[in-house]
Amino acid sequence: MLNIQEYYKMLENQNIILSHRGDLDGEMIDMLLQMADKRLSDMRTQKLVKKKVINIMVESLQNSFHYSNEFPEDEVINHSSFIVLTKNEKHFTIFAGNYVTEERADKLRQKINRLDDLNMLELQNFYLNTLNKADIPVSGGAGLGLIDIMRRSDGNCSYDFETLDNGYLLFSMKVDIEV
């Protein structure tokens, strides 16, 4: 039988501040951000660090939400976004991910490879140039999310694509924010 006290002690030892796996919608995203904000405040996190963590979480959750909307509602794949926020003595870490189609994975790989080749100044200029484009779609999708995550984390990001048996891929991202 599961001992709930042991379970919570294990979570505490892993320094898990927040964890969610499942459906995402506007309300859930708001709730997760409010919980993270409260927990970071309770931990007396520096304002600048807290702002970075929350902003990266916003971008990560919005990306997962938008990608999950590409799947039919009745597919279980639609309900498989995840986010975990942890902290150790050196940094906060955000783990986030969601299922993607092979086509989306190819586009993400290309974008990530292009961003990985940029230094921080080039990344900032690329962000500003993308932001200033006049043809940004009304529905979002301007591609600013990953750029912003890279900027705010000083490039401390890693990504992975895991091929699954169902023909989809699991896109996962790890972002470290120095304390």
pLDDT digits (tens, 9 = 90+) for 45-84: 999 999 999 999 999 999 888 877 666 666 655 557 999 9
Amino acid 33: pLDDT: 98
Please classify residue 165 by burial: count the beta carbons closer than 10 Å to its beta carbon, then call 0-12 exposed, 13-18 middle and 19+ buried.
exposed
Amino acid 5: pLDDT: 81
Q: How large is the average pLDDT for residues 25-46?
A: 96
Strands (E), 41-163: 81-87, 91-100, 157-163
Amino acid 173: pLDDT: 95
pLDDT at 136 over 70: no
Q: Report the predicted TM-score, pTM, of the whole model to 2 decimal places.
A: 0.86
Residues 137-154 have pLDDT tens digits of: 555 555 788 999 999 999
Measuring CA to CA, which residue among 173, 179, 170 is closest to residue 56?
Answer: 173
Band of residue 6 on the pLDDT scale cut at 50, 70, 90:
confident
The CATH code of domain 4-178 reads 3.30.565.10
CA torsion 123-127-133-135 (nearest 10°) is: 110
Residues 91-133 have pLDDT tens digits of: 999 999 998 888 889 999 999 999 999 999 999 999 898 888 7
The residues facing 78 across adjacent strands are none
pLDDT at 163 over 70: yes
- CB of 98 closer than 8 Å to CB of 80: yes
pLDDT at 2 over 80: no
Measuring CA to CA, which residue among 2, 19, 3, 7 is closest to residue 97?
Answer: 19
Q: How far is 1 from 5, CA to CA, in rounded Å? A: 12
Q: What is the DSSP string of 110-145?
A: HHHHHHHTS-HHHHHHHHHHHHT-TT--TTS-SSHH
Measuring CA to CA, which residue among 28, 84, 17 is closest to residue 56?
Answer: 84
Strands 169-178 and 91-100, by their bridges, are antiparallel
Amino acid 76: pLDDT: 55
Domain layout of the chain by residue ranges: 4-178
pLDDT at 15 over 60: yes
Amino acid 60: pLDDT: 96
